[in-house]
Amino acid sequence: MSASLLLAHGDDSFGLDQLLRAFAERIGADDRVEIMPAGSPDEDAIERAALEAGTVGMFGTHLAVLRQPLRAAGRSSAATDRLLSLVRDLPDGAGLALVDLRASRDATKPPALLGRLESAVVTRGGVVEQRNAPRRAELQAWVRRHAEAIGVRIEPRAAAALADRVGGAVAETDVERGDQTRVADGELRKLATYAGDRPITADDVEQLVADTRPASLYAITNAVDRRDAAAAAAALGRALAEGQPVLRITAALAGRVSDLIVARDLTARRATPQEIARRAARGNVRMAGRLVEAAGRYRPDELEAMLAGLFEADIAIKTNAMDPEPAVAAWLGEHLLGTRREAARR
């Protein structure tokens, strides 16, 4: 008899839960206990996982699930050693699942401990699985595959509309995608109940699915780069609805407008792309080119007024002269929507 061991990691919370469910069924787990670290490090959580994994089930395998094992280990050498020992010393017949959910921004940057943990699991005869949430333009295909897997019929246009409403077309890298597939699964099941025996249509999606595209600060600043007032207003609305701190939004906008001013000044002085990259794009030559292109869409006085307006909005918010949301909305209206209307009259 050998131990039943799973390490599941990634940023797709729904996918990880599916892996865990399938693992529990495969090993015949009649019950399970879930352990979540209270802090980082948390050796007590690791010790409890070891104790629960060694417990014998009455009718089948007793499964211990340690959530966020990397957080439980933290930066403690003692906790790290204990976590690796938990895997290496797992008794025969025991059932243990380690489920590590990472933020989407960290999905492609796994910590060093994860590699050590993977090696320990494989050496012990366990299974390592990774589930990352679909990125841009991948969610539509996921919706169609998942619909087929759960026996739901959906038209291609409906799958595209559903993916778009959940955030499948969002390109920015700062958005959190961990719950997108979970939301898409719930919406699919709701739509299937509504549609009955017929396939789900795009009209069904339009009527029943709320727009839950995730907020992105990059979406706001990228819209400013393009001088796309409508996109900036939509992205700002999503960020505010999601509860993003307004001062964080204004700081991101101020940073971008400052970069545009620097890029425009350096371009006027015939600076090299490398110098522009060093001064305004954190060493990224490609980003420097984008900043130069974006700065060219504004007059120097417009950029100066935009930066001054953000400073005034910041002061108004911090002195309680104006509520945060109206302050940033007023800045957007004056410096993007207003300038667009002025340009149209010329």
Residue-level pLDDT at 216: 79
Residue-level pLDDT at 61: 78
Which of the four pLDDT bands, split at 50, 70 and 90, describes residue 215?
Answer: confident
Which of the four pLDDT bands, split at 50, 70 and 90, describes residue 2?
Answer: low
pLDDT in tens, 244-254: 888 888 988 99
Q: Which fold has domain 4-130?
A: Rossmann fold (3.40.50)
Which of the four pLDDT bands, split at 50, 70 and 90, describes residue 60?
Answer: low
215: alpha, beta or left? (left if phi > 0; alpha if psi -120 to 50): beta
- Dist CA 45 CA 39 (whole Å): 9
**Between 191 and 173, the higher pLDDT residue:** 191
Is a pLDDT exceeding 70 seen at residue 274? yes
Residue-level pLDDT at 156: 95
Residue-level pLDDT at 344: 45
Residue-level pLDDT at 278: 83
Is a pLDDT exceeding 60 seen at residue 345? no
Is a pLDDT exceeding 50 seen at residue 263? yes
pLDDT in tens, 175-188: 788 888 999 999 99
Average pLDDT value for the chain: 88
Phi, psi of 133 (to 5 degrees): -65, 150
**Between 42 and 176, the higher pLDDT residue:** 42
Residue range 196-201: mean pLDDT, rounded: 95
Residue-level pLDDT at 58: 55
Q: Where are the domains of the chain?
A: 4-130, 139-208, 217-345
Token couple for 331? 């800045």
**Between 166 and 284, the higher pLDDT residue:** 166
Token couple for 136? 């841009």
CATH 1.10.10.10 fits 217-345, yes or no: no
- Dist CA 96 CA 308 (whole Å): 57
Residue-level pLDDT at 343: 45
Report residue 229 CA to chain centroid gap. Answer: 25
Residue-level pLDDT at 50: 92
For the domain 139-208, what is the CATH code?
1.10.8
Cβ neighbour number for residue 181 with a 10 Å cutoff: 23
